[in-house]
Amino acid sequence: MKRRDFLMAASGVAGGTAAGAAPAGAQETTTSPGNSTASGNTTTAANGTASGNTTAPNGTAGGNQSAPQSGGGGGPTETVAVGPGGSLKFEPAELTIAPGTTVKWVWEGDNHNVVPESQPDGAGWEGTAGGASKTYNTGHEYSFTFQQTGEYSYFCQPHKTAGMTGTITVQEGGASSGGGHAEQDPEHMGVPFQAHYVGIATLLMMVVSLVYTFFTLKYGESPHTSGSNR
């Protein structure tokens, strides 16, 4: 065999080998419009089958798929203490909230429960699990989201006769609905005296001022007695 023929034959064999081996380890990434990206590793076997992992937009296509998780109601939360300090009461006992508000009862005492006594039709509030016969102790928590407007009343079954009751008013706008705000106790606002004490003190100062003015005008020093030294 001539040298030229030998080199041409060797080049043909090497080229055919490279062409056949190239697809085996290829990786492909494809980006399509709309921010949808599909990527994966594809291996073509001798029998013509293809295998790989492909990720589709906003999810996973393949053996494991994750469904979107739905969040909570997203509304505000109000907390009611159950038996605070060993007392037989709910604190606050009266609560005004907007629809969609979650009320969370937190046990600070033992042997208490939350049993609905009245509620709007179709509200579906059942209170703590187990009904009136089941009580819970310190550390327990129970929550319910109120959607329907109206008046709700409830009680603690073992201590209802002791006055352990509560009410919840659900209205549009919550506590600020109806215009204006509820009258507040001056002591809660940092005022040291009640309003009527302030009024009494004001009247007393006016009386003292009038009496002082009267005596000053009647018994004050006369111009005839305040002459100069002669």
With a pLDDT cut of 90, the percent of the chain lying above it is 42
Q: What is the pLDDT of residue 89?
A: 97
3-class SS of residue 194:
coil
Q: What is the pLDDT of residue 9?
A: 52
Q: Please, what are the domains in the chain? A: 77-178 (2.60.40.420)
Of 14-23, 98-107, 217-226, which range is least confident? 14-23
pLDDT at 87 over 80: yes
Which residue did the predictor score with more confidence, 6 or 144?
A: 144
37 residue type, one letter: T
CB burial string 135-167: b at 16+ within 10 A, e below: bbeeebebebebeeebebebbbbbbeeeebbbb
Q: What is the pLDDT of residue 179?
A: 41
pLDDT for 98-149, tens place per residue? 999 999 999 999 999 999 999 999 999 999 999 999 999 999 999 999 999 9
Dist. CA 173–CA 151, nearest whole Å: 15
Please check whether residue 150 is in contact with residue 170, taking contact to mean a CB–CB distance below 8 angstroms: yes
Dist. CA 91–CA 125, nearest whole Å: 20
* N-terminal to C-terminal alpha carbon distance within the chain: 163
pLDDT for 180-211, tens place per residue? 444 445 444 454 555 566 778 888 888 888 88
Q: What is the pLDDT of residue 195?
A: 57
pLDDT interval class at 174 (50, 70, 90): confident
Please check whether residue 97 is in contact with residue 170, taking contact to mean a CB–CB distance below 8 angstroms: yes
Catalytic residue positions? 112, 156, 159, 164
